[in-house]
Structure 1
């Protein structure tokens, strides 16, 4: 009886038709750290129960996200698995590079063999150069022997030199191709993904089947090009998407969109700290923090640098990638606390932010090395073969623009996009079909160009830094749906440096630092003749006087804001008095002094800051 039931079950299982379905990605929405892809295929479905097996998919499919749409058909189950008998297909370009590398390695081996032969011949000739025996050595014989030895050793040394030079050249070519391969492709092998859809149909029909799911190892982050010809011109913002697509499946002519949803010298302006005055306390220290973080990312297994690793400010869209030496530099907002590091085939990690992150080590993800594979009714642990070491010589991911970053600011060189504002996110849809191969590269796509009227103001805190920063203020900035990100600054047709767009802290207006303008100079010095210290009764008085001079060397009139400060007393017996001749506006809570004024071309303005501190005799306060 048991045998009959088992045979019946097996026969029924064999009656279920399994149809392999090959398909391509037709639509992809890239989120900040994943992507949703859609495949649609017209499939002839027979009457009864059958299984549609979508093959050659990404191994990084999130099985919880799979959605299937088929009209007039009952969907009974949907499952995802990895096929370790079939690995992701290498592109023709990768095969070409690997064939070149293999040929070079073979040629280097042959030339090393030839070099070893020459070395042996030299050694043999040297060991037999002494003439021995009982023969009489005449002058003619000695001359012939000498000429023979000289001729042979010279020929062999020339061969040795030529072979060493050739091997050195071949080694350089091998290193270059290794770097190219590592730049574009991941050396490790990955299985392919498969989705099984069990369906029941009451009739034989041909219907479109739409398969939608999320994949990992795809991400994007925004960066910007911000340009202005001068302070009388509008501000141009080029909104760019930095995309990494390493799902192990090429996207060819897909309907592509980007969503804000999330399944050198700094141009950052300083901030004054309140100057609290008490016994034994010192003035605030300004170390000119740049808001810039650096470090290097390595593989823990072999201490090799990881090029193209993702670096993201946690909780934001601000991101960067490592160069060919595994090094990274990223701008961070003031309230940022952690960075997230990730790389294909490695476990992501989070680290607290310091100005120099030092060495960051990523550990290989064992889940990509070892999987549970189901075969019939048995389970066995299948381990992948040698995945190979990550190459020591890494190459930085090359940004592919297809555009000129220093074009005229009025030129819109962005790819046509359609912007969609959703309830909780914003997406930009590339109007024309776009191709994104799976690789280690970062692709830079200019999505949108905005031209806005801006108010330009110069801003300086000479106590911290004797430079003036140009600030562009934008109203109605929310309409551009900007995300946090780094920006390349171009002013007066010159690349100035990088800045940071921090939309989270912006309110009615968005302020963007356009960097230091050397044509507006500023100085601050303490006037010793007006700095005094005297005793009055049981009190001690100290005066401080500072002179600030700003000069406009530009051809245009400018608006400028200057900030300085006086200390704030924390005790009643300590008083701080601002001299009435100091013309700046005082904020009594923070001690900040502000001057706002307009400065004509080639003109200068002098401001004096003078204050007096009175405190009990016998105590000490630090004013400088």
Structure 2
């Protein structure tokens, strides 16, 4: 009796000491999207017993990252441990999945019965065909033959009609099964994206109800900037419509949730920040070593395509855009375009031509004080005088203090550049070759009004002491000795033609024949014959 009492006490204490698990009721409250991931904020509440217990968040995206997980709980609840674990029962609990599975099972049972009916009908026909002989060795009349033929014809025709009807039913069943299996496969794919759980072990001195704020990072979510630039001739301001393409493949839809766009997430890594030496050459890249909680895949699991990344150069890491309107961003792995903000900035226009690189002249908008706009490198749709001009790339990593945006071709000027052979020569001087190269640039103003433009060209820059490049004539152009760029700011009267001469002497050793590269362009042309 004492042994039995002791056993009951031990069993009772074991039951009491087991940790209870409470499922948290939670919803997505807001989303912060970064250039390479997103932070999801969930809120909820849960009843907590006295002592030690577990709470479980289900339906979490399997794209969740190890780092960046944060949890806040009210009423002095102490957080003991937090673990991310797979939810292997998500399919069995899903009502829609169970409904589809039951439908497929019922359809397949009907399909099997249909097969049985078809086989039975075919055997009936075989039986009739095997017994079509009338009378055996006895003589039969024509009337009996005709009567037998009518009977067999009527019977076989009826059976063939039934077979036809059953085949139609079979085809319809096959289509229904195919449709339901396709829905099931899509649902499985979706549920696999949300088959993660977060288990939290907590301790509370009293039984209470606690409000919960959960934040975590997920991959397969990002945003990319895109712009619409609108300018009109004669106006002193330009409109920059800042837009964003949002991408969500996390498994969780963002239905009418507050969205914030940010550059980089500083909360993902809690280690002490350190500065690297600031060098003036090369690029610095930000690399994230975060990984998904379940990186190992089973043999039966399909391998996902390796994530590709774009490299963006960013100045202001703290830039954030809080979107005022609520948006519905489903988890469909499709870019969704939203408006971010609209700027109206003072602008000046000038016409630029670099005939060495591209024929013609281009209208350029120059914007000052753009550093605080939070612009990133990206494509822009250009509209000038309410006419669509095409697309251009916004490059924010510019040396000057203005943001220059090309608005398309300016047909005000005709510009040509050619090498003048009569003013170019090559001489052998000892062990060196001295080559004089002359280019002629012709500019014509097609307008009936006075017009100005800027023309750029260049002379070569020597990186070797054995090679010398000396400008001989620049037609009053301004030379930058560091990069070899020559700039002319010219103004032309109506229909005026101006000639610019660029003449340079290059001295180099005979051993470096072919040193001068005239940048001939390769143009692909379709072959028809």
- The interval holding the TM-score normalised by the smaller chain is 0.5 to 0.7
- Structure 2 residue 473 is the aligned partner of structure 1 residue 579: yes
Counterpart-to-counterpart distance in 2, 1:560 and 1:434: 45
TM-score by length of 2: 0.63
Match of 2:388 among 495, 504, 513: 495
Counterpart-to-counterpart distance in 1, 2:93 and 2:236: 51
1:438 maps to 331
- Structure 2 residue 256 is the aligned partner of structure 1 residue 253: yes
Structure 1 residues 505 and 529, CA gap change in structure 2 (3 angstroms): closer
Displacement, 1:503? 2.2
2:247 maps to 244
- Structure 2 residue 378 is the aligned partner of structure 1 residue 485: yes
2:199 maps to 196
Deviation per residue, 1:475-501 (Å, 9 max, x gap): 111121212222222333333333322
1:309 maps to none
1:209 maps to 212
Counterpart-to-counterpart distance in 1, 2:511 and 2:67: 73
1:120 maps to none
Match of 2:343 among 450, 469, 473: 450
- Structure 2 residue 124 is the aligned partner of structure 1 residue 230: no
Maintained 8 Å contact 1:254/1:434: yes
Deviation per residue, 1:376-400 (Å, 9 max, x gap): xxxxxxx7xx556999xxxxxxxxx
Counterpart-to-counterpart distance in 2, 1:81 and 1:221: 31
Structure 1 residues 544 and 205, CA gap change in structure 2 (3 angstroms): closer
Displacement, 1:69? 1.6
Displacement, 1:429? 0.9
Counterpart-to-counterpart distance in 2, 1:555 and 1:210: 68
Q: 1:171-182 counterparts in 2 under 5 A?
A: none
Q: 1:20-169 counterparts in 2 under 5 A?
A: 20-75=23-78, 76-87=80-91
Displacement, 1:204? 3.9
Counterpart-to-counterpart distance in 1, 2:188 and 2:386: 37
Displacement, 1:262? 4.1
Displacement, 1:43? 3.2
Q: 1:311-330 counterparts in 2 under 5 A?
A: none
Displacement, 1:55? 1.6
Structure 1 residues 550 and 337, CA gap change in structure 2 (3 angstroms): farther
Counterpart-to-counterpart distance in 1, 2:46 and 2:239: 48
Maintained 8 Å contact 2:63/2:193: no
Displacement, 1:512? 2.5
Structure 1 residues 54 and 579, CA gap change in structure 2 (3 angstroms): closer
1:367 maps to 295
- Structure 2 residue 473 is the aligned partner of structure 1 residue 473: no
Q: 1:299-314 counterparts in 2 under 5 A?
A: none
Displacement, 1:29? 0.9
Displacement, 1:83? 0.5
Displacement, 1:67? 2.0
Counterpart-to-counterpart distance in 2, 1:508 and 1:29: 31
Displacement, 1:538? 11
Structure 1 residues 583 and 248, CA gap change in structure 2 (3 angstroms): same
Counterpart-to-counterpart distance in 1, 2:355 and 2:323: 46
Counterpart-to-counterpart distance in 1, 2:204 and 2:190: 43
Structure 1 residues 261 and 587, CA gap change in structure 2 (3 angstroms): closer
- Structure 2 residue 489 is the aligned partner of structure 1 residue 561: no
User: 3-state SS of the aligned residue for 2:355?
Assistant: coil
Maintained 8 Å contact 1:221/1:243: yes
Match of 2:442 among 525, 549, 552: 549
TM-score by length of 1: 0.55
Displacement, 1:563? 1.8
Question: Quick check: which one's strand share is greater?
Answer: 1
Deviation per residue, 1:55-75 (Å, 9 max, x gap): 212122234432222222322
2:166 maps to none
Structure 1 residues 339 and 468, CA gap change in structure 2 (3 angstroms): farther
2:16 maps to 12
1:460 maps to 353
Tell me the C-alpha RMSD between the 2 structures. 5.0
- Structure 2 residue 522 is the aligned partner of structure 1 residue 522: no
2:273 maps to none
Structure 1 residues 591 and 537, CA gap change in structure 2 (3 angstroms): same
Maintained 8 Å contact 2:467/2:506: no
Displacement, 1:557? 5.6
1:161 maps to none
Structure 1 residues 188 and 49, CA gap change in structure 2 (3 angstroms): closer
Counterpart-to-counterpart distance in 1, 2:221 and 2:434: 65
- Structure 2 residue 494 is the aligned partner of structure 1 residue 605: no
Maintained 8 Å contact 1:548/1:606: yes
Deviates more, 1:593-602 or 1:205-214: 593-602
2:141 maps to none
Counterpart-to-counterpart distance in 1, 2:320 and 2:440: 52
Maintained 8 Å contact 2:370/2:403: yes
Maintained 8 Å contact 1:186/1:440: no
1:394 maps to none
Displacement, 1:25? 0.1
User: 3-state SS of the aligned residue for 2:258?
Assistant: strand
